Chain A
């Protein structure tokens, strides 16, 4: 099982649609979870952290399910500018036990069309 798995998509949705992405992780001792977005040939940009209680930032809602080891991102009222690749990041324990390694998923591509 891959350390962090995402459905690569693409998700092709019309403007105004609601779209949800999931990300699963294999190491139950992982700490700290994030969603980033990455535009083509650009750097990842932080979208939001993901907390156990769930968190919302405008049209974006993130959830963490530790029991099932997945995180989700919900985008409401999609805009054309939301078109990007959405990266799930999980900090998993390093084999040495000393710290955590940020581990990226391959990303889910979103295309929002008029």
Chain B
């Protein structure tokens, strides 16, 4: 069964450093997402990406964040200058979608990257 994969599974970084989290969405999916979940809290939407551009982003997704699809398979989240409060689990998800506004499709999540900022 196809699945979303994410690397690394755990990333430890120092405050102020840049990190790149990587995801390989399911191959025939067209809509990609990043979420974060701070320990003990709810899953929070960061950004959605469709047709090589950001479709929507939340208030959390400020200038320190960026996303990219550098090739046909990877989807990355970059955090430019990490803060202590960026420590969280970051989930990538993908969905089969037809059209920019068609967000009614079910999302499939990767196993997550646990980011620890010290």
Contacting B106 at CB < 8 Å: which of A41, A42, A46, A87?
A: A46
Residue interface mask B94-118, A partner, CB < 8 A = 1: 0000001101101111111000000
**A3 nearest CB across to chain B (Å):** 10
* A104→B42 contact, CB < 8 A: yes
> Which residues from 41 to 76 on chain A have a C-beta closer than 8 Å to any C-beta of chain B?
41-46, 49
Q: Does B45 contact A (CB under 8 A)?
A: yes
* B104→A31 contact, CB < 8 A: yes
* B106→A34 contact, CB < 8 A: yes
Q: Does B55 contact A (CB under 8 A)?
A: yes
Chain A residues positioned under 8 Å from B66 (CB to CB) = none
* A102→B112 contact, CB < 8 A: no
CA distance A101 to B33 in the complex (A): 11
Known: A43-B91, A43-B111. A91 touches B42 (CB 8 A): no
> Which residues from 1 to 39 on chain A have a C-beta closer than 8 Å to any C-beta of chain B?
31-32, 34, 38
CA distance A87 to B37 in the complex (A): 13
Known: A42-B111, A44-B43. A32 touches B33 (CB 8 A): no
- Top 3 nearest A-B pairs by Cβ distance? A43-B109, A32-B104, A104-B43
